[in-house]
Amino acid sequence: MGSTPEMTELVLQARSFEQRHAATATFPAAPLPTVAAFAKRTGFSPEKQGTQVILREQVACELGHPTTQSVCTVLTTTDPGLVRSGALCLVGPDLAEIPMGTKVPFGQVITLLIREGGSADPFDLETTQYLIDRLPGYMVRSLPGRLWARVSKEARHAGFSLVTLAQALMLVYASRFSSVLASEVLLVTASDDIVSELAPLAMAADVLRGTHKKVTLGAADIECAEQSCETCVEKPVCDSARELLKQGSNRT
Partner 1 sequence: MKPKIIAVCGKGGVGKTVVSALLGKVLIDEGVTPVLLVDADPVAGLVTALEASPRLTLGHLRDEAISTLRQGEEEKRSLPTRLDYRLLEALEDRGAYSLLAMGRSASKGCFCPVHALLRRAVKTLAAPFRAVVIDAEAGVEQIQREVTSHVSHVVVVVDSSKRALDALELIEQMVGPGPSLHVVQNRGRPGRDHVSPEPCACFPEDSALGDLDAAGTTLWSLDPERPVWKEARRLARALDLVRGDH
Interacting residue ranges for partner 1, rule: CB under 8 A:
51, 53-57, 66, 123, 127, 130, 132, 141-144, 146, 148, 210-211, 213-219, 221-224, 227, 232, 234, 236-245, 251
Between β-strands 146-152 and 138-143, what pairing exists: parallel, antiparallel or unpaired?
Answer: antiparallel
Q: Which residues pair with 210 in a beta bridge?
A: none
The answer for 59, left when phi > 0, alpha when psi is -120 to 50, beta otherwise, is beta
User: For residues 29 and 53, which CB has a smaller minimum distance to partner 1 in the complex?
Assistant: 53
Closest distance of CB 233 from partner 1, Å: 9
Number of H-type helices and E-type strands within the chain: 8, 9
Work out how close the CB of 181 gets to partner 1 at its nearest, in angstroms, rounded to a whole number: 26
When the beta carbons of 26 and 102 are compared against partner 1, the nearer one is 102
Specify the residue, 27 or 123, whose C-beta has the smaller distance to partner 1. 123
Q: What are the DSSP E strand ranges found in the chain?
A: 25-26, 59-63, 70-77, 88-91, 102-104, 106-114, 138-143, 146-152, 180-188
Cβ nearer to partner 1, comparing 78 with 129: 129
Between 23 and 214, name the residue whose CB sits nearer to partner 1: 214
3-state secondary structure of 18: helix
Report in angstroms how near the CB of residue 214 gets to partner 1 at its nearest. 5
Output the smallest distance, CB 40 to partner 1, in A.
Answer: 25
Helix (H, G, I), strand (E, B) or coil at 248: coil
Nearest approach in angstroms of CB 107 to partner 1 is 17
Non-local (6+) Cβ contacts of 247 within 8 A are none
